[in-house]
């Protein structure tokens, strides 16, 4: 029997959400912003709402009512400000990946018909260069410019202009009505399998998702978050920004992957939204530090044994005290890490729980705003993607003899469709269900599991299905393998053999062999032994038959998924 859910306050749309949060949490900090002197200043919920109203009013004064407005830049206050100022009374927001090449940004601006783009200063030259080829693009708005120039506007000046307009009695934005079911957010997918599609989301989609997440996981105004994953990705935008604003939490921003440890200690967040790669690296570093001294390693193993015994048998929780040094290394307050965007090694979440760090894995996709399932506070399984969110139906379509089939989703969080692409929309939206393209199964307790992507499945001559992600997860457990990709290679007899393209972890191999230089032969031998060990536990049809060593890392999306279509 499933345990009761948390109560959540209803919201009609994101404008309603921000108004409610301002009334409930007005003088609390909505954001903590790092300034040039390395000190942090707070921006309250009241200040944030005033800035949103001001920027939205300025947008309307530029004639941008119902326009598409793109936003591009690193995670920062101005990004969040632009997002809500656009959707709460102006038009449609188009978040863009700042790591895309200029020609792809140009393509997405053209496809969306964006009339304005708000961007951080470091992208000024690139945006200026492509703007002349985009006749729809009327306004370039620089987040960092202090003054307007001939060809670009200052975001700061626009906020000042909006405040002056409101003071003079302009309520066009403040009184604007929101259609919660209309297109408000256009998100171009990362594209692990090809050309990005434009996912159309409404206020209803996003608000339904936010409320459902908060009924499954407890979050309140005493919490705070460090925003690490890129905000243009729906997972971070919904869970790391909007859910936090809804709950009265303070959000601070990571300055880059190499600054995560420093920013964690500076801002001391209680909640983190992460991808498995970061979580697994965090866990690996804990043990790497411990292994440097045999006595430290033995002490940590013993402490975990005692702690688990006291917690699991007697209900005594001494984990935060016992592993205080580890907790302090990530700020000292982290109580919840939500993992998404890829599969997390269950041994990592179990291991971190033994240290007093709760990790809850979920599953979602942009088309679902994005969260579909999540492991809850009191109901979880480490190897599972969790239970469906309240109000979300999930079913397995055409399951095989193992119970594995395609996941289909129905609920208010499901997208309106793909922008200007009815053919692709009809492929995935049928009879009210979204067909995800992900394969998985459901256990007797209602927990769901992902086995791989439908497009990636390798089918043998005998009709056996091989899920590349399963083998890739096993290879990832080896310290000598940095990353891998499993493909099928057709033989002359028509059968399919399994090939592993592997990027070795050169640093770990050097440590193992205790030498500064390693030959290709030594690398291949070590990797071959790792593959043989995995093959021993596999049925014949799943065994890896061929190994290809690759020197460069695979091209990836911003959530660290391999772009499989780029690998030949």
Give the Å distances, CA to CA, from 180 to 95, 284, 413. Answer: 19, 44, 12
In the prediction, which pLDDT does 108 show? 95
Rounded to the nearest 5°, which phi and psi values hold at 411?
165, 170
Average pLDDT in the chain: 91
Q: Are 242 and 206 in contact (CB under 8 A)?
A: yes
The pairing of beta strand 496-504 with beta strand 544-549: parallel
Percent of the residues in the chain that have a pLDDT greater than 90, as a whole number: 68
Q: Which of 97-111, 159-173, 214-228, 506-520 has the lowest mean pLDDT?
A: 506-520
How many residues can be counted in the chain? 568
d(C-alpha 254, C-alpha 256), whole Å: 6
| Region 38-50 average pLDDT | 96
CA distance between the termini of the chain:
48
Q: From 194, 202, 242, 244, select the one nearest 220 (Cα to Cα).
A: 244
In the prediction, which pLDDT does 565 show? 56
In the prediction, which pLDDT does 192 show? 47
By the 10 Å C-beta count (0-12 exposed, 13-18 middle, 19+ buried), 321 is classed as exposed
**pLDDT at position 282 over 50:** yes
**pLDDT at position 3 over 70:** no
**pLDDT at position 511 over 90:** no
Q: pLDDT, tens digit, for every residue of 59-83? A: 999 999 999 999 999 999 999 999 9
In the prediction, which pLDDT does 90 show? 97
The pTM of this model reads 0.86
Q: Band of the pLDDT at 493, cuts 50, 70, 90?
A: low
Q: pLDDT, tens digit, for every residue of 417-454? A: 999 999 999 999 999 999 999 999 999 999 999 988 77
Q: pLDDT, tens digit, for every residue of 531-548? A: 888 888 777 777 888 888
d(C-alpha 447, C-alpha 440), whole Å: 11
Q: In order of start, what are the domains of the chain with their CATH numbers?
A: 14-178 (3.40.50.12780), 457-566 (3.30.300.30)
Helix (H) or strand (E) holding 107, with range, is helix 102-112
Give the Å distances, CA to CA, from 479 to 90, 185, 410, 500. Answer: 50, 41, 40, 16
DSSP 418-475: ETT-HHHHHHHEETTEEEEEEEEEE-TTS-EEEEEEGGG-EE-TT--EE-HHHHHHHH
**pLDDT at position 190 over 70:** no
Query: Strand locations in 463-517, DSSP E?
Result: 465-466, 481-490, 496-504
Q: pLDDT, tens digit, for every residue of 353-380? A: 999 999 999 999 999 999 999 999 999 9
Q: From 297, 300, 295, 322, select the one nearest 311 (Cα to Cα).
A: 322
In the prediction, which pLDDT does 479 show? 84
Q: pLDDT, tens digit, for every residue of 107-164? A: 999 999 999 999 999 999 999 999 999 999 999 999 999 999 989 999 999 999 999 9
């Amino acid at each position: 029997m499933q345990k009761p859910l948390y109560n959540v306050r209803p919201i009609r749309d994101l404008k309603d959400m921000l108004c409610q949060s301002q009334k409930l949490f007005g003088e609390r900090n909505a954001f903590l912003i790092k300034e040039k002197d390395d000190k942090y200043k707070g921006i309250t919920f009241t200040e944030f709402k005033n800035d949103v109203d001001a920027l939205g009013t300025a947008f309307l004064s530029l004639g941008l009512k119902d326009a598409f407005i793109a936003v591009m830049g690193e995670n920062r206050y101005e990004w969040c400000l632009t997002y809500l100022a656009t959707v709460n009374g102006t038009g449609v927001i188009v978040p863009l990946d700042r790591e895309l090449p200029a020609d792809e940004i140009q393509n997405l601006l053209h496809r969306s018909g964006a009339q304005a783009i708000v961007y951080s200063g470091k992208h000024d030259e690139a945006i200026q260069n492509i703007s002349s080829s985009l006749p729809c693009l009327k306004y370039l708005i620089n987040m960092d410019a202090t003054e307007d120039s001939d060809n670009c506007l200052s975001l700061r000046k626009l906020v000042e202009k909006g405040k002056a307009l409101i003071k003079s009695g302009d309520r066009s934005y403040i009184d604007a009505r929101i259609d919660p079911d209309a297109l408000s957010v256009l998100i171009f997918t990362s594209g692990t399998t090809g050309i990005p599609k434009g996912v159309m989301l409404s206020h209803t989609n996003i608000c339904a998702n936010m409320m459902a997440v908060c009924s499954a996981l407890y979050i309140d105004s005493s919490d705070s978050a460090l925003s690490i994953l890129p905000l243009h990705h729906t997972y971070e935008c919904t869970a790391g920004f909007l859910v936090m604003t809804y709950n009265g939490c303070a959000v601070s921003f990571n300055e880059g992957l190499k600054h995560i440890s420093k920013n964690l200690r500076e801002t001391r967040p209680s909640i983190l939204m992460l991808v498995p790669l970061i979580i697994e690296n965090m866990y690996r570093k804990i043990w790497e530090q411990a292994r440097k001294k045999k006595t430290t390693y033995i002490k940590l193993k013993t402490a975990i044994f005692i702690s688990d015994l006291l917690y699991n048998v007697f209900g005594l929780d001494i984990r935060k005290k016992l592993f205080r040094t580890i907790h302090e290394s990530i700020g000292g307050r982290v109580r919840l890490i939500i993992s998404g965007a890829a599969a997390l090694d269950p041994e990592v979440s179990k291991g971190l729980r033994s240290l007093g760090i709760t990790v809850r894995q979920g599953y979602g996709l942009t088309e679902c705003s994005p969260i579909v399932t999540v492991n809850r506070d009191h109901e979880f399984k480490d190897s599972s993607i969790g239970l469906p969110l309240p109000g979300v139906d999930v079913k397995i379509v055409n399951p095989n003899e193992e119970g594995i089939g395609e996941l289909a989703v129905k609920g208010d969080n499901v997208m309106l469709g793909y922008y200007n692409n009815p053919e692709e929309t009809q492929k995935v939206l049928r009879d009210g269900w979204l067909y995800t393209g992900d394969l998985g199964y459901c256990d007797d307790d209602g927990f769901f599991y992902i086995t791989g992507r439908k497009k990636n499945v390798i089918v043998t001559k005998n009709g056996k299905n091989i899920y590349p992600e399963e083998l890739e997860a096993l290879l990832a457990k080896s310290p000598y393998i940095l990353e891998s990709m499993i493909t099928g290679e057709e033989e002359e007899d028509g059968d399919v053999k399994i090939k592993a393209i592997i990027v070795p972890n050169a640093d770990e191999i050097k440590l193992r062999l205790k030498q500064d230089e390693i030959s290709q032969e030594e690398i291949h031998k070590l990797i071959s032994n790792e593959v043989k060990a995995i093959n021993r536990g596999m049925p014949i049809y799943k065994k890896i038959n061929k190994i290809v060593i690759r020197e460069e890392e695979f091209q990836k999306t911003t959530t660290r998924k391999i772009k499989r279509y780029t690998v030949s």
